Amino acid sequence: MAKQEANGYTNEPQPEPPGESAPLEEHLRYQANLYQWELAHRGIAVSSDGATHRTSQVIVPRAEVGSATEVLARCEIEVSRSIRVPGRRSLLFLRNGANFDQPLAEVAVGELRTSGSVSEAWLNHVFFAQDFQGSPAYLANPAYFANPAYFANPAYFANPAYFANPAYFANPNINNAVPVTKPGEWPSTRPKDHPIVAVLDTGLATTTVRGGRRRPAHPDLRHVTVHSRWEVVERFRQGAVLRGADEDLMDENGDGLLDRQAGHGTFIAGIVRRLAPTCNVEIEGCLTSFGDGDDASISASLNQFRRRLAGNGRDLSDAIINMSLSGFTEGDQPPPLLATVIEEFTAQGAVVVAAAGNSNTCRKAWPAALENVIGVGALDCSERAWFSNYGSWVDACAPGIDVISTFFDHNFGPELAEGDDPDDYEGFAMWSGTSFAAPKVAAAIAAEMAQSKSNATTAADRVVHRHGLFRLPDLGTVINLV
């Protein structure tokens, strides 16, 4: 294992990119190495069952921090800092000088659970936009790589060098949003006070105008709300919870290429804006451009949105929360912090919609599998999209293949072999995933709210839960918005 700092990040230097004239194989090898470095840099470890977590962070009851500190000290693990998190719990940041075979957090949780001094101990699980593509379940599945619906970019398929090189197919660090031309006019309707769709994601691409004020960079998203104190950097400070920026960052690691999940939030904001043009679209950055957030940081973003909403005199009963992120947990247990905050939100009348995930499994993915969350799978025409998760815990589904929406206007990196340039974007892109089915369901609920003047819970009952709606087994109610 790489040496860990107090917050779990690696202190190894970032891999150096090859020159533009280097062979394709070197570029692909660099991307694979960069992906592994990004995981270490963000303090992410993968357990044997595919669950992801922060390598040096654990969650314990707030009243038991002292006892936990004593237990860990006996095995030479130091608690360098603790911060309060939801549910009367605390997040502990760990460090030690020894080398364990397991990530520090896994060792610590094992010690705490067997000590008899701490009633519960949790890993700080990590959740991803578009799932965790480094999971063995992905990389070992030929259907994942053989399916053109995922790698839908003609430039890739026209390039024999890609197919001839296994490093490409084993490389999950590539942003696979496909550049497309503008499909038609986006709505120009001004939103009204009711309802609100909060997009908790990678943020929104903005630009600075006169007076230093920020506004959406995409002209078709000009009515999306850009709140004050707009966060424009991802938080990597020593000992701080890793947080995404409100700004949808294109190239946070500075390698000249589009980051793995950059543009994800801007894309989803466009889906909501197009399908529910009278609703207010609010942005809360909770995922990095790499696509990761965790139980603690996403819960903090939810609470930040709630405080801002209350500060504007608004009620959660007007709000639909879209979370196009998912992940697995140790023992398939609900993530404690997200479960606590979402229960508070729904008790106050909010509706929470979450992507079911793209692992082609019935295994519960969180937060979609929480009972008070509308979990959304993806359709391909009249059937389940091949990648979509499924199961009794999935409540609704919508088309999730070749969805077109708003994106960056930028050309990233050099052209590839034979003049192919699959990352030259002109404001729109095409993407596939349950991430892009979820906002269609959120938008359908928002449109019902606007039309019927109802609150979020009533609208969700009519759109998703009402008896007699058309449903598919293991995918729930069909919301056929394209």
A 10 A CB-CB count for 192 gives: 11
Distance of CA 141 to the CA centre of its chain: 22
Q: Which residue has the higher pLDDT, 173 or 157?
A: 173
pLDDT at 274: 96
| pLDDT at site 140 | 34
Whether 150 shows a pLDDT value over 50: the answer reads: no
What DSSP string runs through 323-335?
Answer: E--BB--GGGPPP
- pLDDT tens, position by position, 91-114: 999 987 677 888 899 999 999 999
pLDDT of residue 236: 66
Residue 340 in contact with residue 86, Cβ under 8 Å? yes
Is a pLDDT exceeding 90 seen at residue 462? yes
Q: pLDDT tens across 207-217, in order?
A: 998 888 899 99
pLDDT, one tens digit per residue, over 365-375 is 999 999 999 99
Quick one: average pLDDT of 30-56?
86
Ramachandran angles phi, psi of 310, nearest 5°: -65, -40
Residue with tokens 């008899």: 116
DSSP-derived secondary structure for 421-459: -TTEEEEEEEE-SGGGTHHHHHHHHHHHHHHHT--HHHH
The average pLDDT across 144-163 equals 41
**Distance from the Cα of residue 16 to its chain's centroid:** 27
Distance of CA 386 to the CA centre of its chain: 20
Cβ-proximal residues to 462 (8 Å cutoff; 6+ apart), any chain = 448, 452, 454
Give the residue, 168 or 392, on which the prediction is more confident. 392
Q: So what's the pLDDT on residue 97?
A: 67
Of these ranges, 162-166, 228-232, 441-445, the one predicted with the greatest mean pLDDT is 441-445
Strands (E), 202-301: 206-208, 214-216, 280-285, 292-294
* Structure confidence at residue 244 (pLDDT): 86
**Residue 423 scores a pLDDT above 80:** no
Q: Indicate the range of 8-12, 61-65, 123-127, 344-348 predicted with least confidence.
A: 8-12
Half-sphere exposure (Cβ direction) of 439: Cα atoms closer than 13 Å: 33
Do 175 and 186 meet the contact criterion of CB atoms below 8 Å apart? Answer: no
